Amino acid sequence: MKKEKKELVKKFKVVIEDLLDNYEEYTEEEKAQVKEIFQKVADLNKVLDKYDVAKASYWSEFLAAYGQFFDPYGPMGL
């Protein structure tokens, strides 16, 4: 599964780079198509955000602990 995800990420990056390579030269219709596709991807990302909740909370906890530990004026600092 991780290999599949890695391949999808790699392909997605290539497609994005390729789509935006000559963006300035596209017709307005072509630019609109690119924007529409990106908007659909952004909309899908919002739908799938429900899977990020647990990750976000753990990440927030980690950042808070990290900040307290390395804060020079915090409990373990000066």
Calculate mean pLDDT across residues 37-57.
85
Judge whether 62 lies within some domain: yes
Judge whether 43 lies within some domain: yes
Total structural domains within the chain:
1
What is the extent of the structural domain holding 29? 2-70
Q: Which residues have C-beta within 8 Å of that of residue 12, sequence separation ≥ 6?
A: none
Higher pLDDT, 10 or 61: 10
Judge whether 75 lies within some domain: no
Question: b/e per residue, 2-32, with b = 16+ CB within 10 A?
Answer: eeeeeeeeeeeeeeeeeeeeeeeeeeeeeee
Judge whether 25 lies within some domain: yes
Judge whether 36 lies within some domain: yes
Under the banding of pLDDT at 50, 70 and 90, the label for residue 64 is confident
Q: What's the pLDDT score for residue 71?
A: 63
Under the banding of pLDDT at 50, 70 and 90, the label for residue 28 is very high
The tokens 């497609």 sit on which residue? 15
